[in-house]
Structure 1
């Protein structure tokens, strides 16, 4: 196997996996139950195995995000398998779109060239638009996809125009070389590029699409959107901050400081008033991205390692929260109203327990992965000299505890489900396994963060 082919193996697996699902549907128009997600899972596993294979010509960051995105995709497929089948939208296109979206995310996460970054973001976004609207009988999903698509198209246009200005000012499309050029055109282009990246990260004030998209999307799709898309885009932001010359960082830093603070405030305070659990999780996701932006500011002072750990923890937390939401839902609609979770901790203790655990981790309470992640991010910000922003972030994290406790109180302190007497549909073995895995991961990273931190240190040091 040549080095070039070895480098392309995860990309080829995801691209060919999407085609394999479509071909399988042509050969077997009525495939056996579970065949499509099983085929997709085999191909989605390849990038994860590739990430741990010794001796491959790949950077540590590429390996990390290949492994992370592989895990996110596998968990999403597990959650989708029974969920989509029982709700009547488990076609071949669904699983093909998941794999192709994961391919776009991988291209985005490892991009060292502006055009590759744009291509990855565009591929991931186009597939996600369709996935959000994949349940065609649900008008809320189509509305959510439209609200996601229209501002998303404008954000991508801003990114494309920004890249053209960067190229005009620097004469190169290599990200590192272009950011080293001191030019007003590069600074202007970088500002526009940050708008496009900030949109995908749900950084305020370009975050308004997020609650509507999450609420209208099927629960497993919302999990994929909130984890894979955010992780890949965060990788691009970390790359920009790590490679930016002092002149470029002088443009980036003030914007990111304001965006980080505003995003943390909007996310945590906005979640307090939500009566929809999906919208609550959407605002929580917005707040988490504020912490990631703060870590990006401190990328050269330990923020890079902190951000990678936090992204892994965040992926587990959101996959678990949306996975539990889907597992507790009926076949007609997702169980969305917070009041409809009253007493489910007694009726469905395992699924409700997973939801409570992930919510407490999102709030940053020990002994969960979210607590360790926030501790690392705040420490990096303090070392980098962003003391005011770190203190503000801690205050917002304290405020964010209340939205988690409100849902947990609903689960365990108000017995009786008469407000929403819908029996949850069977989750299926794949979804149950995924929910078990992410729940164990949330606790494991909170109690034993050392192994992952040591691995991240080696990966970052081996860039």
Structure 2
């Protein structure tokens, strides 16, 4: 019993943390409002500590995702604390839903059967729908939540139908056993499941919801959505690809090649055309998922290790980019126009410097984590025999350099600064610490990737 409880410690902590946030506010609303970020952070820390704890017998992969999602959740709480307080939506529901969404992401990332995958996906999604519209009276946020919910419900229905077909064709709900059964019914079900996963990952052509949702959501919530949710769904995709039998790859392989290439093109070229920073980052997120899909193609040829490293790097750079947008924004709304970032590198050098580091990493420039991640992903694709796709990915990565440098250049432009007064709200010590920890992580993984790669090798092995 004790061993079982220890293995369930991160799940119980996140579930109890959500209840504790709601209960604390019910007992003493004013006092709890100030203490909620600290309370939520204590519960969010448990999965990370558990992942490093030598006791228990969870798989190494479970520990990896627990540590990654714990870090993402902690950083989001830190970025939200002052941001939500000054914009008057720092209530108990905000932190409760955040912890429950993290619980759903953890269940999704570690799922080994279809029912648990479905439960984890839906729990995280339902909470995210509400978090996107968390700010009262925020019309863009409510619109973004609706645009996320409606196609998300359709994607869930498609995935549920796909799972029912897989079960009908195999007689098993275990992911490995059901896919090993093979057959046309299982193949059809797998195709529908991949459509649902592609929607959640923002893979083209089912990516259209992403720019509108990211632009309408509060910046720290967009950071959580673009990192934690994507990491969990990518984990599910990698698991499915690793367990797919050889005959399934006759259809799965070409489909993923086309999806990966289209996603990289849509993401990088789309980001180049944007005048909104949040929409640019949304298209960038789409492009990054194209690289993850490329790694999934070679999941049994080193692509798994490359994908896990890239997920960790991506979490850092997208948390930092959206977090910096939040800290550089005023209280009336997020600073969104690229032109409004002119000269912020001189007015707010530390926050702008963190944003610059994350943008360079998203572009894949050395010496950042994004460069190492792309190098590993392209190498995995080449080893798996997808030379053409790897070359195309390199070309799209070169396109991505331009949109990142466009915003970096705006940060250090002196002309026209007076047209956009630089009056961001105070970031707060927690947000500043989180932002700089993320920026330091982006540079550390770029300069010293060895320790994380060694840890991932042990996890995969």
Does the alignment reach a TM-score above 0.5? yes
State the Cα deviation string for residues 400-448 of structure 1 (Å, max 9, x = none): 1000010011111334522221510000011011001000000000000
Alignment pair present for 1:452 and 2:419: no
Q: 2:113 maps to which residue?
A: 113
- Judge conservation of contact 1:101–1:123 (CA < 8 Å) in 2: yes
Cα distance between partner residues in 1 of 2:227 and 2:370: 14
Q: 2:59 maps to which residue?
A: 59
Unaligned runs of 5+ in 1: none
Alignment pair present for 1:434 and 2:434: yes
- Judge conservation of contact 2:343–2:413 (CA < 8 Å) in 1: yes
Q: 2:396 maps to which residue?
A: 396
Q: What is the correspondence of 1:237-256 to structure 2 with a 5 Å cutoff?
A: 237-256=237-256
Cα distance between partner residues in 1 of 2:421 and 2:135: 23
Cα distance between partner residues in 1 of 2:399 and 2:406: 12
Cα distance between partner residues in 1 of 2:156 and 2:284: 24
Q: 2:204 maps to which residue?
A: 204
Instruction: Give how far 1:136 is off.
Output: 2.0
Q: What is the correspondence of 1:148-227 to structure 2 with a 5 Å cutoff?
A: 148-227=148-227
Q: 2:324 maps to which residue?
A: 324
Alignment pair present for 1:334 and 2:373: no
Q: 1:83 maps to which residue?
A: 83
Instruction: Give how far 1:459 is off.
Output: 0.9
SS across alignment from 2:419: coil
Q: What is the correspondence of 1:288-327 to structure 2 with a 5 Å cutoff?
A: 288-327=288-327
Instruction: Give how far 1:32 is off.
Output: 5.3
State the Cα deviation string for residues 328-373 of structure 1 (Å, max 9, x = none): 0000000000000001101100001111110010000000000000
- Judge conservation of contact 1:37–1:77 (CA < 8 Å) in 2: yes
Cα distance between partner residues in 1 of 2:355 and 2:182: 48
- Judge conservation of contact 2:89–2:134 (CA < 8 Å) in 1: yes
Q: 1:419 maps to which residue?
A: 419
The structure 1 segments of at least 4 consecutive aligned residues displaced by more than 6 Å after TM superposition are none
Cα distance between partner residues in 1 of 2:209 and 2:33: 34
SS across alignment from 1:34: helix
- Judge conservation of contact 1:339–1:419 (CA < 8 Å) in 2: no
Cα distance between partner residues in 2 of 1:250 and 1:42: 47
Instruction: Give how far 1:162 is off.
Output: 0.2
Q: 1:271 maps to which residue?
A: 271
- Judge conservation of contact 2:344–2:422 (CA < 8 Å) in 1: no
- Judge conservation of contact 1:361–1:442 (CA < 8 Å) in 2: yes
SS across alignment from 2:29: coil
State the Cα deviation string for residues 171-216 of structure 1 (Å, max 9, x = none): 0000000110121110000000001000000000000000000000
- Judge conservation of contact 2:33–2:92 (CA < 8 Å) in 1: no
Name the stretch that deviates more: 28-37 or 362-371.
28-37
- Judge conservation of contact 1:21–1:95 (CA < 8 Å) in 2: yes
Q: 1:407 maps to which residue?
A: 407
State the Cα deviation string for residues 111-166 of structure 1 (Å, max 9, x = none): 00000000000000000000000012110000000000000000000000000000
- Judge conservation of contact 1:47–1:70 (CA < 8 Å) in 2: yes
Instruction: Give how far 1:30 is off.
Output: 1.2
Instruction: Give how far 1:2 is off.
Output: 2.2
Instruction: Give how far 1:47 is off.
Output: 0.2
- Judge conservation of contact 1:260–1:291 (CA < 8 Å) in 2: yes
